[in-house]
Amino acid sequence: MPTIASAAAAPQAAKAAAPAKAEVMHWWTSSSESAAVKTIAEAYRKAGGTWVDTAIAGADQARAIAINRIVGGNAPTAAQFNTTKQFLDLVEQGMLNNMDDVAAAEGWDKVLPETVLNVIRIKGHYYAVPVNLHMQTWFWYSKAAFKKAGIAKEPASVDELFAALDKLKAAGMIPLAHGGQAWQETIVFQAMLANVGGKDLYLKVIRDRDAKAINSDAFKNVLLAFKRMQSYIDAGSPGRNWNDATALLISGKGGVQIMGDWVKGEFAAAKQVAGKDFGCIAGFSSNTPYLIQGDAFVFPKTSAEPVVKAQKLLARTLMTPSVQLDFNKLKGSIPIRSDVDTSSMDVCAQAGMAIMKDKTRQMGISEVYLTPDQNGALQDILTAYWNTKMPVEKVQKSIVNALKE
């Protein structure tokens, strides 16, 4: 006959053995994204957890709902954000749990890029778990379109890129497959700043918000190159989604797209192979910064032991090397950990990992350095310039004003 003490301990033991249940809120809803997130969910289940999937289409919408639920006291176990300043307000308001013990136990400082550590580590505490690295300003091109236009050699400079776009235009194709949305125009701008301006100018403009640099002839040349790209789009560009622009490359109707490496998911779904059906250029010289961003999960504040247990199990799962490899192969990104064997990944991913070894090229996208308000103001100016006949000098002055403290 069990003692009172052992009888009382039995429910406690059962409770301790209960699987860690995590409601995970994210915006991965496209076919390639859904396949990628399933690899994390499956790994979490194998680790003993219960995954409750809350997928919400649209990053802005998903973040807004997550923040509303956190503020309203009905938070999910974990919520997706980008690896930027997007979750800084939540940290400052004391609404997130940190993952300090997981970070220390698994040596995050040794395997994560400094650019990313500077975002997730706030006042010495680790408030987010990054899952990948996306590079936003890749140049993708259709091998079939290049062949049809008589372009035998991959462009090796910005001038050669413009020459290739001219040939595509002459051949009757869409030279630049572009989705006319403000965030996509910002990507084209950053690609021109990175490749025309180089590392030093990029940091002076975006990180330092240096008025002298923004008003310089060097930055004026960047803006003129950005505006020149607009002459290569088609009439169907305004409002087009990024994946529909990628579809133009897949069909051979479009030649070049400037977009993050998440487009590889679309190529993969169409059974197209990197290096064979499409090409990828990360930058035209060793002076071109590799502009990284990514996805991360934050963990809303709670002291409930089962929820904290679920959060920490998820943090460890997200960082597991095998999960990193499986997830990023499907997502189009590269592993956040520098110690993952990527030899089985495609040639574009391997090129990205090779560039990441040069720490001088690792830089964040504008959202890493700018506040959401500053980034929004910059985006508004760039879109106005893209779509109107605004003089370049006015653009320079407007950017100086927009990026002031």
pLDDT level of residue 6 (50, 70, 90 thresholds): very low
On the question of pLDDT at 211 being above 50, the answer is: yes
Q: Amino acid letter at 177?
A: A
| pLDDT-derived band at 405, boundaries 50, 70, 90 | low
- Is the pLDDT assigned to residue 42 strictly greater than 90? yes
Contact in structure between 24 and 314 (CB atoms under 8 Å): yes
How far is Cα 131 from Cα 334, in angstroms, rounded to an integer?
9
- Mean local confidence (pLDDT), 335-352: 93
Pairing of strands 174-176, 295-300: unpaired
Sequence-distant (≥ 6) Cβ neighbours of residue 23 within 8 angstroms: 52, 54, 76, 77, 78
Number of C-beta neighbours around residue 173 at 10 A = 23
For 103-224, list the strands marked E by DSSP. 121-122, 125-126, 128-130, 134-135, 138-142, 174-176
Identical fold for domains 20-133+294-338 and 136-291+362-402, yes or no, is yes
User: How much is the average pLDDT of 351-369?
Assistant: 92
What would the mean pLDDT of 176-184 be, rounded to a whole number?
95
Greater confidence (326 vs 405) lies with 326
Classify the C-alpha dihedral 331-193-223-253 as positive or negative.
negative
Higher pLDDT, 268 or 397: 397
pLDDT grade for 372, boundaries at 50, 70 and 90: confident
Mean pLDDT across the chain, nearest whole number?
93
Instruction: Give me the percent of the chain exceeding a pLDDT of 70.
Output: 95
Domain 20-133+294-338 bears CATH identifier 3.30.1360.200: no
* pLDDT for residue 9: 42
**pLDDT band at residue 133 under the 50/70/90 scheme:** very high
Question: Is 47's pLDDT higher than 60?
Answer: yes
pLDDT band at 349 (very low <50, low <70, confident <90, very high): very high
* pLDDT (0 to 100) of residue 17: 54
pLDDT value at position 109? 96
Residue 217 has pLDDT above 50, yes or no: yes
185 closest CA partner among 99, 115, 245, 145: 245
pLDDT at 74: 96
Q: What would the pLDDT profile of 279-300 be if each residue is shown by its tens digit?
A: 999 999 999 999 998 999 999 9
Q: What values do phi and psi take at 331, rounded to 5?
A: -80, -25
Q: Give the containing element (helix H, strand E) for 312.
A: helix 305-319
For residue 146, pLDDT beyond 70? yes
> How far apart are the C-alpha atoms of 204 and 190, rounded to whole Å?
13
What are the pLDDT digits (tens) for 77-97?
999 999 998 999 999 999 999
**Which CATH number is associated with domain 136-291+362-402?**
3.40.190.10
What's this model's pTM, rounded to 2 decimal places?
A: 0.85
Strands 78-82, 20-26: pairing is: parallel
Predicted pLDDT of residue 20: 87
In this prediction, residues 129-135 reach a mean pLDDT of 95
Inform me whether the pLDDT recorded for 239 exceeds 60. Answer: yes
Average pLDDT of the residues in 39-55:
97
Q: Is pLDDT above 90 for 7?
A: no
Q: What is the mean pLDDT of residues 179-185?
A: 94
**Residue boundaries of the structural domains of the chain:** 20-133+294-338, 136-291+362-402
Q: How would DSSP label each residue in 43-59? A: HHHHTTEEEEEEE-SSH
